[in-house]
Amino acid sequence: MKKIRDYLYRLPAYLLWALFAALLVLAVFQGATDTERAKKITLMINVPEVDEKGAMRYLKELMPDVGLEMIKVRSFSYALFLEASLKEADIWIVKESDIGQFLPDFGPVAGFREGHPAYHYWQGENPDIWGLRVYEAAEDRGILQAYVNYGASGEKEDYYMFFNPASLHIGTGENDEAAFRLTEKLMGSEMKSPFIKGMDASIVPALEAGGVKYFNFKGEEQDVFEILAEAGLNAIRVRVWNHPFDEAGRGFGGGNCNMDTALSIGRRAAAAGLSLLVDFHYSDFWADPGKQMAPRAWGKMDLPEKADALYQYTRDSLLLLKAAGIPVSMVQIGNETNGAMAGEKNWENMAQLMKAGSRAVREVLPGARIALHFTNPEKTGSYRYYGEQLARYEVDYDVFGTSYYPVWHGSMENLTAALNEVAGRWGKQTAILETAYPYTLRDSDFYGNLIQEGTKGIARPYPFTLDGQQSFLKDMLDFCQNKLQNCAGLFYWEGCWISAGGGNRKENQALWEQYGSGWASSYAGIYDPQDAGRYYGGCAVDNQALFDEKGHPLEALKLFGP
């Protein structure tokens, strides 16, 4: 009896041991499932501006074998959720203003703790207990924290990014890019910036106003920005003219692209998960090597006044995009500014304008890259010369961008040499900001194309056929990613520019005048009498689009996919 009684007395202890053993087995099993979990990455974003779809798409492209899921969070009881979410998410992007209520006076410094996989470091006297718990929870999991301080503009706007070191953080939006750049700095060379696959789509709203519709590969009508995103593009470029209208409010054409257009395109692009490149021409109409006229409003200004106006205009415009929550990944200061810009025709003056633009970008969108844009890479030594001038006058920029139309601009090999020299010598990124290639010699809108039957003085490195266009784009994408040093990306130029109307010249002309869907309307003559005033009309590049005359995508568009 005593034995039985002893046994009964000890039973709770036995049970405890059994429970302990069971827990041990469970823990080992849990370890195994943790290993399995590395096959899946969870992204959590509670910052509306962050380009979620773009981030997901890019992660999928980079890691096709890894399952991805996203937890979107918009509002919640913050403090408890933060801890819980850290346990679930591998990549986590959060706005400082959200975390701030729990972590007042958080200092602006972040850095690695020596010899530790995680880092966290803060200044400030009264870190709130919830904030501390979050950081401790992160550190316990070996989660890295990146802290981005957007203090320069005077508006406090800070972001945190937490991520599992086993994961990659990739996105294409401006805030994403900011977090990424800081992280890149902290992580050294382990991070790779997303390659931008973009398209200039500035003309789209004007075409749609005239009745143009776009279709996906299944033949269904769809928002064209969604079609582009689904094809694999991750960015849209939009040109911005200060005031492309006459005194009666009639548009100059070419899409009548001003900041309203940029906002409208930017919103639609963002909704489709695409970031924006804003291409400021600093003119009231087309700016290229042949014409760099100042906006009429700046016409009588001296250089310091003009630089200040350019700074204010850039700043105000970017603030509008920022307020609209549009992710801007790159800002272009001037368009094809080979030797002139906004009416200034020497490098000393141009540099002052460029610096004024750069300053506005850094202040308003510190996460965006600043691009400068040139053309005619076939002119020997010209890019070296521009690079020297930019260095001499200490212009602040990130990307040395170029137009590259192979019919006029020499071989890809020559382009490589010209751009790689700049990239190597001055430590800059390069980018193809404009490129295109014809798929036909047919004209679809009764306004002659730049490249048509009998066009003289052009190279034909590929046939002007559907296959030729595909071969060109395939080679070009390969070239950018494998031959060019530090190439940020490629933008196809106006691949959606097809024809509104289509019946006859007269019908089309009415649409060009009314909606600005041609390259120039007759109203542009008051600003550009020599060119637009004489040759105004429709589209000169409809045979270089990536959509056919009826708005159906061409096979070449698929090349932007993974």
Binding site for Ca ion (CB under 5 A): 443, 445, 447, 449, 539, 542
Pick between residue 147 and residue 446 the one whose CB is nearest to Ca ion. 446
Shortest gap between Cβ of 499 and Ca ion (angstroms)? 7
Give the list of residues 6+ apart from residue 144 with CB closer than 8 angstroms, or none: 117, 118, 119, 138, 162, 163, 164, 165, 183, 186, 187
Burial class (CB in 10 A: 0-12, 13-18, 19+), 177: buried
Of 336, 344, 363, 513, the active-site residue reads 336
> Min. distance of Cβ 503 from Ca ion in angstroms?
14
- Residue 77's Cβ-count burial label (10 Å; 0-12, 13-18, 19+) is exposed
Per the residue annotation, which of 174, 177, 434, 494 is the catalytic one?
Answer: 434
Beta carbon nearer to Ca ion, 172 or 440: 440
Distance CA 45, CA 365 (A): 20
Give the nearest distance from C-beta 531 to Ca ion in angstroms.
Answer: 16
Whole-angstrom CA distances from 171 to 54, 95, 178, 309 are: 6, 16, 10, 33
Task: Give the integer Cα–Cα distance in Å for 238 and 241.
Answer: 10
Closer of 447 and 547 to Ca ion (Cβ): 447
Strand pairing class (91-95; 67-72): unpaired
Nearer to Ca ion, 452 or 485 (CB): 452
- Check residue 367 and report its DSSP letter: T
* Residue with smaller CB distance to Ca ion, 174 or 434: 434
Smallest separation (angstroms) from Ca ion to the CB of 447: 4
Contact between 145 and 118 under an 8 Å Cβ cutoff? The reply is yes
Cβ nearer to Ca ion, comparing 266 with 538:
538
Annotated active-site residue 336? The verdict is yes
Cα 438 off chain centre by = 25
Least separation, in Å, of the C-beta of 42 and Ca ion?
A: 49
3-state helix, strand, coil in the chain (%, to 5): 40, 15, 45
DSSP 3-state of 91: strand
Contact (CB, 8 A) for 142 and 165: yes
Contact call for residues 92 and 138 (beta carbons, < 8 A): no
Residue 147 CB, nearest approach to Ca ion (Å): 51
Distance CA 79, CA 130 (A): 6
Distances (CA, A) of 486 to 28, 399, 417, 542: 45, 9, 13, 31
Smallest distance, Ca ion to C-beta of residue 502, A: 11
Q: Least distance (Å) from Ca ion to the CB of residue 448?
A: 6
CA 308, CA 316: separation in Å to the nearest integer?
12
Identify each DSSP E strand in 266-311 by its residue range. 275-280
Which residue number, 344 or 542, has a Cβ lying nearer to Ca ion? 542
Element (H, E) at 139: helix 129-140
| Nearer Cβ to Ca ion (124/502) | 502
Angle, CA of 325, 545 and 519, to the nearest 5°: 80
Closest CA to 238 of 328, 339, 325: 328
User: Residue 507 Cβ, how far from Ca ion at the closest point, in Å?
Assistant: 14
Residue 363 or 445: the one with the smaller Cβ distance to Ca ion is 445
Helices 382-392 and 347-364 meet at what angle, rounded to 10? Answer: 70
> Contact 430/400 with Cβ under 8 angstroms?
yes
List, by residue number, the catalytic residues. Answer: 336, 434
